[in-house]
Structure 1
Amino acid sequence: MTDLSHVRTGFAYLDEPREAGGVLALAHRGGARHPDLHGLENTLTAFRHAAGLGYRYLETDVHATADGHLVAFHDDRLDRVTDRVGPVLGLPLSEVLGAVVGARAGLDERIPRLTDLLEDLPEVRFNIDLKAPTAVEPLADLVRRTGLHDRVCVASFTERTLRRFRRLLDRPVATATGPASVAVQVYAPFPLRVGRLLRDGGAVLQVPHRFRGRTVVDRRFVELAHASGRHVHVWTVDVRAEMEHLLDLGVDGLVTDRTDVCKEVLVERGVWYSGAAT
């Protein structure tokens, strides 16, 4: 595999694994498709399980409750994975915490607050997907108050959300590029690609390998990102052969539900990184 450890973004969150010769392995929602974690996505049990495997980068999502608390939860409603219904935004923290995750499978897990994860797993870093505009200010405030600047990378599917989050910080935090920049890299002529990246404050392109039948991540995509000083993380990669192919292209990170398979591949290649968060 090509040595790309010289591609520096200026953010310890992204640079430290590459400088150590490793690849960022991000446990998606704690490793939602690991055989031992069926029905336990985004729970403290799932995140502890991934950390126990040696993962030092965990991916999660955040919503803000009606009373302004951040919870690690993907959907905007409770319906799919809990025994309750209703929008997270419309409920106070007490009701959200009362919802049982995995109840249909006889499980009894609760939705964690983001602060619960940060305190329970001080050795890991988090990739946080801002799922709603109401979560922007609480997350920026949490980063400022608790000094999480080197411990988180923040992403969103909304450009405005990312720009607002960056403006609220007292010093820079690693963030993903916005979706418009990603689209330009795939569809636009070369000069427009470069110009768009120069205007985007993101340090990493977090993208699917393929989207709607079109290949997003190929060698040219990775080379362009690296030429601009950015890293490439690919989601959500659960098949060994696909992991191998992407690593051959030189990607910097893999986001996976199959934490067992991904660790096995990276260990075999000698690029497994399990350094502690700072």
Structure 2
Amino acid sequence: MTSRLVRHPYLDHPGPLAFAHRGGSLGGPENSLAAFERAVRLGYRYLETDVHVTSDNVLIAFHDTQLDRVTDGTGAVAQLPWRTVSAARIAGREPIPTLAELLDAFPTTRFNIDVKAPGAIRPLVDVIRRTNAWDRVCVGSFSDARMRALRQVAGPRLATSAGPRGVMALKLRSLTGGHAPIARAVRRQAVCVQVPETVPGTELRLVDRAFVTTAHRMGLQVHVWTVDEPSRIRDLLDLGVDGIMADHIDVLRDVLIERGAWF
């Protein structure tokens, strides 16, 4: 049972939010149009992606700083013009999409976007404004500095998740029952927390019942990444989390269908 906390149109969905992480990277080349199309055909209404910007300010849906790992191209995205990046192929066959192309291709689908570089902030906000995608987008980052800059540029209309510092403040509050000012600030700035099950680099459990309860009391949804094992998905849903991001999108879909929670 999820909290049904809906403080932004982006979160308005009748059940747990199922996110296709990078389009569902275990079912197709990650962050490719083909992967996103497959997820949408399966019924996914939420797609997760990342953004970088080329040297000539084209915003692309791409995870890595470098082209090398997932494409047949080489080099740092930020140092290459779009004409070079657009010639690279994911897994040797799929072009790299721009974020604007994805928003246009899936006009009723919602996107969770991880800002991977500070230079991508203004181009991202420009794309959201140009496509009027305010209600379809939630943005997060592993950098508190990027989140501050993003909120300054975009303003309160944009749905955002809490940054790392806010997540840790929530965890501390869930452990101590304290009232840290930073934890209260998270409620003003974000509509959700998007977190792994454990604190990165440690075995400390981040998502437990106390954490979920604390977040809900502060009006924040809890979305967990990246979870592909059915038993872990069930356990998290039993804790009351509001969304799950998966690479193996068939598995997440099957568990939600099994629980009568696929909408």
Aligning the two structures, in what range does the TM-score lie when normalised by the shorter sequence?
over 0.9
- 1:72–1:114 Cα contact (<8 Å) kept: yes
- 1:174 matched to 2:171: no
Q: What amino acid is aligned across from residue 140 of structure 2 in structure 1?
A: A
**CA pair 46-77 structure 1, distance change in 2 beyond 3 A:** same
The aligned runs of 1:226-241 (5 Å cut-off) are 226-241=216-231
1:266 maps to what in 2? 256
Aligned residue type for 2:131:
T
Contact 1:11–1:150 (CA<8 Å) still a contact in 2? yes
* Residues 73-114 of structure 1 deviation map (CA, whole Å, 9 limit, x = unaligned): 0000001011121100000011001111112xxxx1111111
Q: Summarize the alignment of residues 56-205 of structure 1 with structure 2, pairs less than 5 Å apart.
A: 56-103=45-92, 108-169=93-154, 171-187=156-172, 190=176, 194-200=180-186, 201-205=189-193
Cα separation, 2, equivalents of 1:3 and 1:177: 19
Partner in structure 1 of residue 8 of structure 2:
11
- Structure 1 stretch 54-63 or stretch 75-84: which is displaced more? 75-84
Q: Distance in 1 between matches of 2:17 and 2:101?
A: 23
- Which amino acid in structure 1 is aligned with residue 167 of structure 2? V
Deviations 1:46-84 (A, max 9, x none): 000000000000000000100001000000000101112
CA distance in 1, matches of 2:16, 2:177: 29
Residue type of the alignment partner of 1:28: H
**1:160 Cα shift?**
1.4
Q: Which amino acid aligns with 1:246?
A: L
**Counterpart amino acid of 1:214?**
L
Distance 1:125 1:93 in 2: 25
Residue 208 in structure 1 maps to residue 201 in structure 2:
no
Summarize the Cα distance change of 1:246–1:191 in structure 2 as closer, same or farther, 3 Å threshold: closer
Counterparts in 2 of 1:3 and 1:192: CA distance versus 1, 3 Å: closer
Give, in whole Å, the separation in 1 of the partners of 2:80 and 2:223: 33
Report if the CA contact (8 A) 1:144-1:170 is conserved: no
Note if contact 1:71-1:113 (Cα within 8 Å) is conserved in structure 2.
yes
Where structure 1 has 5 or more consecutive residues not aligned to the other structure, the ranges are 274-278
Within 1, Cα distance between the matches of 2:178 and 2:150?
25
Contact kept, 8 Å, 1:149 with 1:171, in 2: the verdict is no
Shift of 1:194: 4.6
Work out the CA distance in 2 between the residues paired with 1:57 and 1:124.
Answer: 6
Partner of 1:25 in structure 2?
18
Change (3 A) 1:193 1:264: farther
Query: Quick one: distance in 2 between partners of 1:207 and 1:196?
Result: 17
Any conservation in 2 of the 1:61–1:131 contact (CA below 8 Å)? yes
> Which whole-Å CA distance do the structure 1 matches of 2:20 and 2:41 have between them?
12
Is the contact made by 2:103 and 2:131 (CA closer than 8 Å) also made in structure 1?
no
Displacement of 1:171 in angstroms is 4.7
Per-residue CA deviation, residues 219-238 of structure 1 (Å, 9 max, x unaligned), is: 00000000000000000001
Query: CA RMSD, aligned part only?
Result: 1.4
The structural deviation recorded for 1:148 is: 1.0
With normalisation by structure 2, the TM-score equals 0.94
What is the Cα deviation at residue 213 of structure 1? 1.1
TM-score (norm. length: structure 1) = 0.89
Kindly indicate whether the alpha-carbon contact (under 8 Å) linking 1:184 and 1:193 is maintained by their aligned counterparts in 2.
no
